[in-house]
Amino acid sequence: MSPKLPAFELKHPNDPEIIGDGVSLWPGFFNLAAQHDLLKTIRSATATAPLFTPKMPRTGKEMSVRMTNFGPLGWVTDQKNGYRYQPNHPVTGQPWPDLPRCLLDLWQTLSAYPHPPQACLVNYYADLARMGLHQDRDESVFDAPVISVSLGNDCLFRVGGTSRGSKTQSFRLRSGDVMMLSGESRLAFHGVDKIYPNTSDLLNNGGRINLTLRRVTAGGQDQQNR
């Protein structure tokens, strides 16, 4: 076995691009080798926690994004019970796979939050998938940031303010980019307007993967959700 290399190279930890109030972007945070390592980890976890198709509350309409989760809690949605976090996969009933160590390290490096993330939502976008403008507010605490990692094809990401009508700005997220939403921006409306096909070779069948690391409950309450 070769010695384990660090999963990412932190080039400018203190020098992200500041997109807006509380929105920080580290372009190319994960180099290509680290992206492949992360992908391998994701693939092995999805072997036991397969992607599922989330359905909207009430209407039951299928989302175009497919999902799975890692960590003690995962975000799910279906027609009957709506948006929520739960400790088990909605199809297999099994606990979610462990949060990969390199993502725990990422959180510790960037978040300045005294407790580890509880959920890593894995979104898979086929090239035609998108995600409408929404807020992430199914968590019971909002004092922790959300950290996102993009893999695969580029997307056009949009972020606005805390009301639906506020002005939005759009920018590309590329494979290996890390974004962090903290403070005010934690409750900002955001969405993915489109995927740009053939902009990355990372994924064999195209599309894009986004990982989001989240804190769901207040610190020190990790045990109650196991």
Which residues contribute to the site for Fe ion (CB under 5 A)?
A: 136
Side by side, which strands form the sheet with 190-195? 131-134, 190-195, 155-159, 169-173
CB 217 within 8 A of CB 189: no
Considering only residues 24, 68, 111, 210, which one is a binding residue for ligand MD3 as defined by CB under 6 A? 210
Tokens 């409750």 belong to 187
Under the binding rule (CB under 6 A), the answer on residue 159 touching ligand MD3 is yes
One-character DSSP codes across 59-120: T-PBPSSEEEEESS-EEE--TTT-SEEESB-TTT-PBPPPPPHHHHHHHHHH---SS--SEE
Of 8 and 124, which CB lies nearer to ligand MD3 in the complex structure?
A: 124
State the minimum distance, in angstroms, from the CB of residue 141 to ligand MD3: 13
State the minimum distance, in angstroms, from the CB of residue 134 to Fe ion: 6
Of 34 and 155, which CB lies nearer to Fe ion in the complex structure?
A: 155
Considering only residues 66, 89, 186, 215, which one is a binding residue for ligand MD3 as defined by CB under 6 A? 186
State the minimum distance, in angstroms, from the CB of residue 4 to ligand MD3: 28
How many CB atoms are closer than 10 A to CB 207? 22
Of 37 and 158, which CB lies nearer to ligand MD3 in the complex structure?
A: 158
Q: What sign does the CA torsion over 216, 212, 98, 51 have?
A: positive
Of 136 and 139, which CB lies nearer to Fe ion in the complex structure?
A: 136
Question: Distance between CA 5 and CA 34 in Å, rounded?
Answer: 9
Of 103 and 179, which CB lies nearer to ligand MD3 in the complex structure?
A: 179
Tokens 């209407």 belong to 59
Binding site for ligand MD3 (CB under 6 A): 121, 123, 131, 136, 146, 148, 159, 179, 181, 185-186, 188, 190, 192, 210, 212
